Amino acid sequence: MTPAENAQLALLLEVAGTPKPGNVDRERDFDDLRFEHFLAGSVGAGSGLRTAEDGAPVGAAFEQAVAGMSQQRGGNTQFGALLLLVPLVRTSAESDLVSESVRAVVENTTVEDATNFYRAFDHVDVFVDDPPEDAEPLDVRRGADAVPALEDRETTLYDVMEMSAPDDGVANEWVSGFERTFWAADRLTDFEGPISARGARVYLELLSRERDTLVQKQHGRKVAESIRVRAQEALEGGGAVIEAFAESLVDDDINPGTTADITAAALFVALETGAVEV
């Protein structure tokens, strides 16, 4: 399979994994966001992923992938996952898929990449924090309206990720050489059985190791830490404890979406490197 095809497969395997507490999976829907929306988003993102595979700039490929992903009625299904997958696909199409190679790809992004990243926010609603006062002109919620400020400040896409990294788990992957992604990809090989089930297990391990930054933005640091501890307890308790944890997060409208994004990226790395096979 090509890198773009493996990226789409990773998106499909991620959403098919269950139980994945707090996230849509093949057994749990939200009121306005359902399993089929994620399937459609995975298909729609394909053109942008293929563009990345063909060597297009990261920002342009990402904007195209998000535009395609958004062509379903659920809204934002995989924005964060695509922000990880696009540079990974680009890297794999050009060189060995290792941390050093993907780091080189993201560090070489340009101002134009940043402007296309901001344009992607015009396609879907994405939950983000208020920016610091001195960064208001670069508020991603402004979408294309922020482009002049990006150009005036000569801000690259890597610069944007670097500014966001302390409070955003996806951005932190960019500046850390995709550290958690590669850890999780290795971890997938430690289990047997269906890959989607392994993905669900690794998702829970990721959640138990670090606070989910989307949960922290939406509900605060205390809740995010509580979710991390409960994920650890669920891993230890297994079975019914995991199921109860999953149901409680849905009931409380708590969505560890950043952890799901990293899981999708890890599935791609494992598939693309041949560490796991379908």
Write the class of the CATH domain 3-272: mainly alpha
> What is the per-residue pLDDT across 197-231, written as a single tens digit (0 to 9) for each?
999 999 999 999 999 999 999 999 999 999 999 99
Residue 137, pLDDT score:
79
- Sort 129 into a burial class: Cβ within 10 Å, 0-12 / 13-18 / 19+: middle
Q: What is the total residue count of the chain?
A: 278
How is the chain split into domains, by residue range?
3-272
Are 173 and 181 contacting, i.e. CB atoms less than 8 angstroms apart? yes
Q: What three-state secondary structure class fits 28?
A: strand
Token pair in block for residue 249:
């997060």
Residue 141, pLDDT score:
81
Residue 132, pLDDT score:
66
Low-confidence ranges of the chain (pLDDT < 50): none
Residue 133, pLDDT score:
65
* Helical H segments across the chain, by residue range: 3-16, 35-44, 46-53, 58-69, 79-94, 99-107, 111-120, 147-153, 157-164, 169-175, 179-188, 195-209, 213-219, 221-237, 239-251, 257-272
d(CA 18, CA 142): 35
Q: What three-state secondary structure class fits 31?
A: coil
d(CA 79, CA 255): 14
Residue 128, pLDDT score:
81
pTM over 0.75: yes
Query: b vs e for 163-178, b when ≥16 Cβ sit within 10 Å of the residue's Cβ?
Result: bbbeebbbbbbbbebb
